[in-house]
């Protein structure tokens, strides 16, 4: 049977213990640990301390022994415990990475954490940790497009050269088009936004055909040049270039657009 434990609390330790108990911002676990020590120093028995502190007998003994061995600092420190989950074998992580780089089973488009967990017999969180550690994100896809233009490299050098080594008095315009823009008109006017009510808009509309927007960004000053045209053939594109040239201040032929 365990015998009682007794110790003497120094003046400095008592002041520190009482300050922790009185501080409203102290964690409650620190408060009742300090109270156990103060009650023990006051001569109370184990049963009385249990009633005063509201803890079990084993907790009273544990923190009495901790204070006797480590002082006040021991009451404020929690001992680290090993994880109940055993660490995964490195071969499991290697298998998860290898499977991630292959096609998923069935008709699924990509691996999910749940699918991989079922395939390898580990938890979903373990799969996520392995993916995160190896920088894998099977749900993400980065699109790309390869040019079939035999003069692509030459054109690329022309465009990149304007940024790397721009010629004197050069104007760089980034040009693009947006076709099939629908010109729509609502059948009835909507009501404006007001306090307590959102703006309104009818669900039905009238079609007024489509238009094509040609736009160019002046890379130097950030201005945008735009023009709407009915079609988007090369004739309209050249007409837009001729229109944007005077506005950009360039007098010669425009550089090859991109």
Instruction: Identify the bridge partners of residue 213 per DSSP, sorted by sequence position.
Output: 178, 228
pLDDT digits (tens, 9 = 90+) for 163-201: 788 788 777 777 787 888 888 888 888 888 888 888 898
Considering the chain, what percentage of its residues have pLDDT values greater than 90? 26
- The yes-or-no verdict on residue 251 having pLDDT over 60 is no
* Domain residue extents for the chain: 11-75, 90-134, 152-248
What Cα–Cα distance (Å) separates residue 123 from each residue in 47, 96, 101, 113, 137?
45, 12, 19, 9, 17
**What is the band of 255 on the pLDDT scale with cuts at 50, 70, 90?**
very low
- The yes-or-no verdict on residue 256 having pLDDT over 50 is no
pLDDT digits (tens, 9 = 90+) for 52-84: 888 898 989 989 989 988 889 988 888 766 666
**Spatial separation of the C-alpha atoms in residues 212 and 179, rounded to whole Å:** 4
Q: Mean pLDDT for the chain?
A: 85
- The yes-or-no verdict on residue 252 having pLDDT over 70 is no
Q: What is the pLDDT of residue 79?
A: 73
**Spatial separation of the C-alpha atoms in residues 39 and 48, rounded to whole Å:** 9
Q: What is the pLDDT of residue 53?
A: 85
Please give the residue that has the higher pLDDT: either 1 or 41: 41
**What is the band of 99 on the pLDDT scale with cuts at 50, 70, 90?**
very high
**Spatial separation of the C-alpha atoms in residues 254 and 258, rounded to whole Å:** 11
């Amino acid at each position: 049977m365990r015998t009682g434990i007794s110790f003497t609390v120094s003046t400095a330790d008592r002041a520190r213990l009482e300050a922790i108990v009185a501080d409203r911002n102290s964690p409650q676990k620190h408060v009742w640990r300090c109270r156990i020590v103060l009650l023990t120093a006051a001569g109370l028995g184990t049963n009385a301390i249990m009633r005063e502190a509201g803890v079990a007998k084993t907790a009273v003994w544990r923190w009495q022994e901790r204070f006797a061995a480590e002082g006040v600092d021991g009451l404020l420190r929690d001992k680290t415990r090993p994880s109940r989950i055993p660490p995964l074998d490195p071969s499991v992580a290697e298998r998860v990475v290898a499977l991630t780089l292959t096609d998923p089973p069935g008709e699924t488009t990509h691996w999910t954490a749940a699918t991989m967990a079922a395939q390898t017999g580990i938890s979903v969180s373990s799969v996520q940790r392995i993916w995160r550690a190896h920088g894998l994100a099977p749900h993400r896809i980065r699109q790309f497009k390869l040019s079939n233009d035999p003069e692509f490299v030459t054109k690329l050098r022309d465009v990149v050269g304007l940024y790397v080594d721009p010629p004197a008095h050069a104007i760089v315009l980034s040009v693009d088009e947006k076709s099939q823009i629908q010109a729509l008109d609502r059948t009835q006017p909507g009501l404006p936004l007001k306090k307590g009510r959102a703006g309104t808009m009818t669900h039905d509309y009238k079609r007024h055909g489509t238009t094509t927007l040609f736009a160019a960004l002046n890379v130097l000053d950030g201005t945008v040049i735009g023009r709407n045209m009915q079609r988007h053939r090369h004739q309209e594109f050249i007409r837009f270039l001729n229109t944007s040239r005077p506005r950009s201040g360039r007098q010669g032929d425009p550089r090859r657009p991109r």
